[in-house]
Structure 1
Amino acid sequence: MTTVVTDPVKHSSSTVTFGSGRISIEQITAIAQQNLPVALSQDSFFQQQIDAGVAFLDKLLAEDGVIYGVTTGYGDSCTVKVPLSQVHELPIHLIRFHGCGLGDYFTAEQGRAILATRLCSLTQGYSGVSWPLLKQLTAYLNHNIIPRIPQEGSVGASGDLTPLSYVAASLIGEREVYHNNEIRLVVDVLPEHGLAPIKLRPKEGLAIMNGTAVMTALACLAYHRAEYLTRLSSRITALASLALKGNSNHFDEILFSVKPHIGQNEVASWIRNDLNHHEHPRNSDRLQDRYSIRCAPHIIGVLRDALPWFKQTIENELNSANDNPIIDGIGEHVLHGGHFYGGHIAMVMDSMKTAVANLADLHDRQMALLVDSKFNNGLPSNLSGASTERRHLNHGFKAVQIGCSAWTAEALKLTMPASVFSRSTECHNQDKVSMGTIAARDCLRVLQLTEQVVAASLLAVQQGVQLRINQGELHQASLTADIQQMLNQLQTDYPLLQEDRPLEHSLRQLIAQIQQQQWPLYQEAQDAK
């Protein structure tokens, strides 16, 4: 297990220590979101690994050994020998010619995740990096000096070269960083913390850049959001069933015992308990509800059941040495390979974004039922809460439903797998590449769009349930304590929509609450895992 120790300087409850065991998705997310302090392990074997890697490279250089990216050019230029008098300049050129990223910039939170993910790989002890480099990365995280990294320019093999060049550049005092909510030149920030640019050793530019840190960091953040959406989607489905006067027997234990997907059954149990099925079974006017209610556990369950595989794969990549060449300092081997290839993360992200987009589609269909008086079992058209005499003026959730359709369509459009769009690059040296970083960026966009649909759906279902209660068709006493508590909070923040009002601010606020995971849904089930 990863060591967690008390940190007296930061006044934080824990420090995440790199180099003494596996790092988890949750730790990367906590570092990214909460600025948890980090440290390097004092473990003797870890220290021996780092020292041995440096000593072995020095020995090879002294013997005029040929090492890719150390005494040769990069990529297709690996046949070009670099004179020993110039090998210390080579990392600088690598960093500078890759400084061509474009597009939007990753946020400071994403940048922290990227730094922590790269630190995790380098502290596996097989990259031939030195203590000054590892300590500088640690200091950047602890002082919140975060490289400003463009999102576009990586094909995911040979790793995230262009975006990670911005990490490497910041270490030597070049380019911009986020610091204290400002964008500044790193060279101006470092002295404020008693730091100075470091001089990279011959292998270190390649070690920082030639890996999967960007896509893996984004995957860690995506996992955190996707997992929560499975729980929130279950809660919204229960509320939608209540608003539509649905049939709670669709979530019966015996029914689900005959199709034993674990995640699907977990979702069904959450919905069943939210509906208070055992104490207050609810029967619909229809024998069978429409699929977006009846089959919700089967739809949400696909993502829920995939999460363990996602987690295992992401964490294996996170805790791997994924640059090239691999330096076995203790055994004195230089191993040339392709560990920078991001195929596993590409597959996870392509799969995750498809499963998440299906949640957007599910809630878009639920919303369509709720607003349509032909299907909503007696609720007002467009869920308007207006009085009878003013109902002809008010249009309730009509435009929100259109928005849901637009957001869902965009999410579904992005589910085309990025990993199948490999391109041959760099003089056909990189002739099969993973596209893992593009897949990860797509996944984050799909998550954002789905969270927008989910926020709109949450507003709509709480409106529908409140209308049923006001009409005397649903008794508050029949609701579980958890449902009542959540409805009360939602009603406080988002009062019943009676007269039409702009909902943009409410939607943005609710999206932020969802992304902050404000409601600890089914926490007992989570704690039991």
Structure 2
Amino acid sequence: MSQTSKIELTGQDLTLADLMRIAEGCDAVLGEQGQITVDASRAVVDKIIEENEVVYGVNTGFGNFADVIIPEDKLTQLQYNLIRSHAAGVGAPLDLRACRALMALRANVLAKGFSGIRRANLDALLAALNSGFHPFIPEQGSVGASGDLAPLAHLTLNLMGEGHAMADGRRVPAAGELEKRGLAPITLQAKEGLAFINGTQVMAAVGGIALWEARSLLKHADLIAAMSLEALQGTRQAFYQKIHTARAHQGQLHSADNLWRLLDDSEIMRGHANCGRVQDSYSLRCVPQVHGPARDTLDHVLRVFEIEINSATDNPMVLADEGRLISGGNFHGESLAMAFDFAAIAVAELANIAERRIERLCNPDLSALDAFLVPEGGLNSGFMIAHCTAAALVSENKSLCHPASVDSISTSAAKEDHVSMGTIAARQFRDVVTNVRRVMAIELLGAAQGIHLLKKQPAAALQQPLALVREKVAPWDEDRYMADDIEAAEALLQSGVLIEAAEARCGTLH
């Protein structure tokens, strides 16, 4: 991750890490090369207008109206009409982080110099981003080709000083929010409305944040599984290195190594060295074989994502070196749609196997622990319904993991007859990640309670993470309000402090 105070957008080298810095409040600036390419691109558009050449999106209608020629005196009105008519989204507004991410992504794409926008409008977009302006962008309405038209139109409408922006969780007039920040509304000339809305930046923003959060769960998944294995008095022998080098998937190797180190020097494990149990259940023994593929999948998705966010996705594309515009289809979101569908499936599996471990922790027939992890069962219900909550979230994920990318629907009078549904894939992925984190929070509490009931020392690397859990959540000696405890455990996962504590003892985890 860059340590500079501002992220320079070049259209070439933006990373997910730097995008998250912007999403969380860092400023973004246009690089020097971007200024040159943007100006060169705009010069091509101006020349086409001057020579009365007919080019889609510059002096024609859009979509099925591509054959309608627009007279020169109405080219500006054409762009305003485009934005106003396309701002037709519905649903809950995107939060500030997602809006900041998509504004940065759109600016990064415009900086590549394939869009024909004037630099003044790109500067205005960045000024709005850096001022903390929060556009009102409904999250529903994009089919993922020609890009994220509806949500990006809402962004552009806000920059024009029309429609609503967000302030303190409320919708307010966009014009007033711009004025409050000393920003003037943008004006649109030929091609500029289209330059703002053709692309995959909304799906990339939503899915990118989800990807960042999903990747942060990978170490936690191994850490919490190690805690559950201790509570269930399992063995770490299944994580012995030679077993995994015989298969050699990198994610599996990394997960197995994490577990081996996390479980070193355990009083619990020493205490049942000769207990006669030959093999643990799959949800314990096969953790690397499940967590590992999730790791490998998210690595693949990251590569696809970082290619996409540094790609030109406009239409028509301005080829400044050739002095012309050509219509194409780079706005189509299939690459991200498939990647986010795959990512959702991979992350959901972390919760699937975690829920099975929660069942084993709660079920006295499958462990040596008190039923539902609480003394005086019957009087107390313990983790009975916490497990039900985990089961509900896992089941919900099965619906959310239905791949959006296999769907399509014809739009714009069959001109746009195959679409990606990439923004739906991104939103589903986001929701899966949230559900998985909450299942993991429940497993964390269950594993901590199981170790508490055993009254033995777990592995050295687990002791400080467990102490941090106990600072927020007391042991369950009798029933109490459960929801706050789950929320506190989820906050611990989001903070990253458990991983820091474990790594201080066993070294950096993969």
State the TM-score, normalizing by the size of structure 2: 0.95
**2:199 is the counterpart of 1:211:** yes
Give the alignment of 1:314-329 within 5 angstroms: 314-329=305-320
Which stretch of the first structure deviates more once superposed, 329-338 or 398-407?
329-338
Residues 473 and 488 of structure 2 are in contact (CA less than 8 Å); yes or no, is this contact kept in structure 1?
no
Q: Cα gap change, 1:330/1:357 in structure 2, threshold over 3 Å: closer, same or farther?
A: same
**Pairwise CA distance, 1:190:** 1.6
Amino acid at match of 1:24: T
Moved more, 172-181 or 79-88: 172-181
Residue equivalent to 1:288 = 279
The answer as to 2:118 corresponding to 1:130 is yes
**C-alpha deviation, 1:22, in angstroms:** 0.5
Which residue identity is paired with 1:302? P
**1:343-376: CA deviations, max 9, x gaps?**
1100111000001111111111000000000001
Tell me the equivalent position of 1:350: 341
Q: Report what 1:159 is aligned to.
A: 147
User: Is the 8 Å Cα contact of residues 108 and 148 (structure 1) preserved in structure 2?
Assistant: no
TM superposition shift of 1:21? 3.9
Confirm or deny: 8 A CA contact 1:49 1:330 kept in the other structure: no
Q: Which amino acid aligns with 2:372?
A: N
AA aligned to 2:117 is V
Q: Please say if 1:145 is aligned against 2:133.
A: yes
1:104 paired residue number? 92
Question: Among residues 387, 396, 399, which one is paired with 1:401 in the alignment?
Answer: 387
1:216-255 equivalences in 2 (<5 Å): 216-255=204-243
Distance apart, 1:184 and its partner CA: 2.3
1:52 aligns with 2:40: yes
CA-to-aligned-CA distance 1:400-449 (integer Å, 9 cap, x gap): 01111111100112111111111111101111111100011111111111
> What does residue 157 of structure 2 align with?
169
The superposition leaves residues 106-149 of structure 1 with CA deviations (integer Å, 9 ceiling, x where unpaired) of 11111111111111111111111111111111111111102111
2:317 & 2:358 partners in 1: Cα distance? 52
Would the aligned equivalents of 2:219 and 2:499 in 1 still touch at CA under 8 Å?
Answer: no
Please point out which of 503, 507, 512 is paired with 2:486. 507
Where do 1:337-416 residues align within 5 Å? 337-376=328-367, 378-384=368-374, 386=375, 390-416=376-402
Secondary structure, aligned partner of 1:89: helix
Partners of 2:7 and 2:167 in 1: CA distance: 21
Partner of 1:306: 297
How far, CA to CA, are the matches of 1:367 and 1:32 in structure 2? 34
- Shift of the 427–179 alpha-carbon distance from structure 1 to 2, 3 Å rule, reads same
1:220-242: CA deviation from partner (whole Å, max 9, x where unpaired): 11111111121111111100100
Q: How does 1:75-94 map to 2 (within 5 A)?
A: 75-94=63-82
Amino acid at match of 1:395: S
Distance 1:277 1:79, change over 3 A: farther
Residue 424 of structure 2 is matched in structure 1 by 438
Structure 1 residue 450: deviation in Å? 1.0
Distance (Å, rounded) in 1 between the aligned partners of 2:96 and 2:365: 47
- The counterpart of 1:39, out of the listed 16, 23, 29, is 29
Q: Which residue of 2 aligns with 1:8?
A: none
Residues 401/328 of structure 1: CA separation in 2 closer, same or farther (3 Å cut): same
Give the Cα separation in 1 of the matches to 2:74 and 2:252.
59
Residue 274 of structure 1: how far off its partner (Å): 0.8
* TM-score normalised by structure 1 residue count: 0.91
Paired-residue identity, %: 33
Q: Hey, what's the Cα distance between the residues in 1 that align with 2:379 and 2:322?
A: 79
Residues 144, 180 of structure 1: 8 Å contact kept: no
Matched residues in 2 for 1:321 and 1:246: separation?
51
Q: Please list, as runs of the form range in 1=range in 2, the aligned pairs for 1:433-472 lying within 5 A after superposition.
A: 433-469=419-455
Give the deviation of 1:289 after TM superposition: 0.6
* Alignment match, 1:9: none
Q: CA 1:527 to 1:491, structure 2 compared with 1: closer, same or farther past 3 Å?
A: closer
- Aligned-partner Cα distance in 2 for 1:407–1:106: 22
Instruction: Give the 3-state SS of the residue equivalent to 1:104 in structure 2.
Output: strand
User: How many residue pairs were aligned?
Assistant: 505
CA-CA distance at 1:105 after TM superposition: 1.5
SS at match of 1:103: strand
CA drift of 1:285 comes to 4.2
CA contact (8 A) 1:3 1:17 kept: no
Helix, strand or coil at the partner of 1:16: strand
Counterparts of 2:507 and 2:207 in 1: how far apart (Å)?
20
> Could you tell me whether the CA contact under 8 Å between 1:303 and 1:356 is conserved in 2?
yes
Q: Using a 3 Å threshold, how does the CA distance of structure 1 residues 370 and 179 change in structure 2: closer, same or farther?
A: same
Q: Deviations over 1:30-56 (max 9, x none)?
A: 1112x001111124xx33211111111
Amino acid at match of 2:404: A
For structure 2, the 5+ residue unaligned runs are none
In structure 2, the CA distance between the partners of 1:30 and 1:449, relative to structure 1 (3 Å rule), is same
Note the C-alpha offset of 1:496: 0.1
> What SS does structure 2 have at the residue aligned with 1:519?
helix
CA RMSD of aligned residues (A): 2.0
